[in-house]
Amino acid sequence: MLKKITISGGLDKDGILENIRRLDICVGEVLAVVGPTGSGKSQLIADVEQYAEEETLTGRSILIDDQPLNKNENKNLSRYLVAQVSQNMNFVIDMSIEEFLLMHAQVRAIKEPSQIVKDVLSITNRLSGEPISLSMNLTQLSGGQSRALMVADVALISNSPVVLIDEIENAGINRLQALEILTGQGKIVLVVSHDPTLILMAGKRVVMKNGGMYKIFETTSEEKKILKDLIKIDKKFVCLREQLRSSKSIRAVEQKKEEVAGWPKF
């Protein structure tokens, strides 16, 4: 049973040792990976996905319960260790959603696949805009619907203990709910994001600079208070967006906003 993964520091883009020499992420923790574009965020999660052992450009090593993967006692870990949800995800497989989910459930030895498939569909439709049905072909799904389906699939069917999320704020789905669903499964979650709300939902964050791990911050009590305000603002934004997407004008929304369920009051 996986307890933690460790990122052992390597080199930044100039070949200088990273400030952070060891970063532990335990089961149930969420780590936000932050920094400007080009700072090395995607490379960090790529090192985790590849179980790097000093062979990538960064020279980092990924340890599983303090050991390299090839020396870990549980040899089956490598097969299902990591699942990834990215902002760019579309299906090219010509099969129905139900067939795909049942096939994945059988591969993962799910005891009641029919029920889990229904649960995956329910979560998918909570996250995406236009609802989907099990009979739909995977190739019919939009980018947002595909990512919503994969979030639900990773949360309920995949038994991968580590989940990598790359800029899900641009995925066209309810990103806050998606993160809550994934973190509620007791997994290790690394989320690359520019979104302040997603960043503060994590317990800690690593700041990237010039390709290296620069600083680590724990989310403070003051930041958690700010997070509550950001979530209120986000709910207001989402509510307004859904009203506009359902063919109502902004003026009509403003006149009736107090009647809209879930509209936060400040």
Whether residues 62 and 4 share a domain: the answer is yes
Whether residues 76 and 192 share a domain: the answer is yes
The residue ranking higher by pLDDT, 137 or 237, is: 137
Whether residues 57 and 167 share a domain: the answer is yes
pLDDT at 265: 53
Q: Contact 96/135 with Cβ under 8 angstroms?
A: yes
Q: Which of 158, 186, 202 is the last residue of a domain?
A: 158
pLDDT at 206: 98
What's the average model confidence in pLDDT over 15-37?
95
Residue 62, phi then psi, degrees to nearest 5: -110, 125
pLDDT at 266: 46
pLDDT in tens, 89-107: 667 788 999 999 999 999 8
Whether residues 211 and 241 share a domain: the answer is no
- pTM equals 0.83
Whether residues 135 and 264 share a domain: the answer is no
Whether residues 118 and 190 share a domain: the answer is no
Read off the CATH number of the domain in which 32 is found. Answer: 3.40.50.300
**What range does the domain containing 261 cover?**
221-266
115, two tokens: 């029920």
pLDDT at 249: 73
Tell whether the model's pLDDT for residue 75 goes beyond 90: no
Whether residues 168 and 76 share a domain: the answer is yes
Residue type, 190: L
pLDDT at 136: 95
Tally of structural domains, the chain: 3
Whether residues 52 and 26 share a domain: the answer is yes
Tell whether the model's pLDDT for residue 207 goes beyond 80: yes
Whether residues 3 and 72 share a domain: the answer is yes
**Count of CB atoms within 10 A of residue 150's CB?**
22
pLDDT at 62: 95
Whether residues 73 and 164 share a domain: the answer is yes
Whether residues 70 and 164 share a domain: the answer is yes
In the numeric block, the tokens 């010509």 are attached to: 94
Whether residues 230 and 209 share a domain: the answer is no
